[in-house]
Structure 1
Amino acid sequence: MKTDSARAQIPLPEGIPSGKEYYERSLTVALLRARESTMRRFKKYADQADLSLPQWRVLRALADGDALDAGTLCQRCVILPPSLTRILRALSERGLIRPVECDDARRHMVTLTPEGQALFDRLVGASESSRREIDEAFGEEKMMLLLDMLNELRIVTEALPDSE
């Protein structure tokens, strides 16, 4: 069994910082910290409506008015299929979504109910001040640039070959 001191003796490849600097400049850690810090400002609104954050993301995705299938919801909301199944069941039981007829019986299409749309509208209105506060503190231009860059980063990393 390797000890911590044995592991510490293994040199890192050239150019890779070590210790705290490596951790503090980690893309994945920075993304997680930014997500957690940002989501804390919005979680209270979901909590007030007795919604989980993934449930809130599903309502947001459906709020455009178009019925969506489970695969599209998984992709847009960044939710795994088994979790989405539980979320759709919970939202349906609360009367916030309803199934929609579809020509393809294999596709499960859903849309917001009027109650779901009203809840979405109420939560967006309540959370708007938090969104605006973040935009003003960070800077609206910087926020737009950040969003563009994050979307570009996602596109670039999705296009990279899988590493084994």
Structure 2
Amino acid sequence: MSRTLPIALLRGREVIMSKIRPLLANYDLNEQQYRVLRALNESRYLDAREVSIRASILAPSLSRIMKILGRRGLIKTGRFEGDSRRTLLSITPKGRDLVQQIQPESRALYQELDRRLGHHKVEQLLNLLEDLVATDEDKT
């Protein structure tokens, strides 16, 4: 069982996340909240569905995260003009500042991974995982 792809992926993820979780905890964030902030930091405004896709978060979880981040003043929510069913999300200046605070420490963690594993292997791993995801997207 230890040489199965699902187990190897889980173990690899845990190696990475065991370093990132404490960093995020220092800023009172969890993994999902930070993924939402990063997705919004890359775009001016996003539809909630698009945030869900970019951050790999299910819609019910995103609803809960939106409330938490909104209460903290890190994101703003609104409605699309002409389609009140769609939720529009944006990051606030406070949220953008928080992401910028975290980024140097996050980069340092990735640089350490590059140092330990080798930049070429990290890039190779990312490429292989992107290829894996693309095989599923080919079905649609």
Indicate the TM-score class for this superposition, using the shorter chain for normalisation: over 0.9
2:63 alignment counterpart: 85
Larger Rg: 1
2:97 alignment counterpart: 118
1:157 alignment counterpart: 136
Pick closer, same or farther for the CA change 1:160–1:28 going to 2, 3 Å.
farther
What residue identity is the alignment partner of 2:6?
T
Alignment of 1:75-154 (within 5 A): 75-100=53-78, 102-103=80-81, 104-154=83-133
Aligned pairs, how many? Answer: 139
Which is richer in strand? 2
CA contact (8 A) 2:75 2:92 kept: yes
Unaligned runs of 5+ residues in structure 1 are: 1-22
With the length of structure 2 as denominator, give the TM-score of the two structures.
Answer: 0.93
Q: Deviations over 1:107-137 (max 9, x none)?
A: 1011110000000000112222111100121
Unaligned runs of 5+ residues in structure 2 are: none
Residue number among 38, 44, 53 corresponding to 1:66 in the alignment: 44
What residue identity is the alignment partner of 2:73?
G
Does residue 55 of structure 1 match 2:49?
A: no
Q: Deviations over 1:46-69 (max 9, x none)?
A: 101111110011011111132111
CA contact (8 A) 1:42 1:127 kept: yes
Does residue 26 of structure 1 match 2:26?
A: no
CA contact (8 A) 1:67 1:100 kept: no
Give structure 1 regions of 4+ aligned residues with deviation exceeding 4 angstroms.
none
Identical positions, percent: 37
What is the Cα deviation at residue 105 of structure 1?
1.7
What is the Cα deviation at residue 89 of structure 1?
0.4
Larger RCO (alpha carbons 8 Å, 6+ apart):
2
Root-mean-square deviation over aligned CA pairs: 1.5
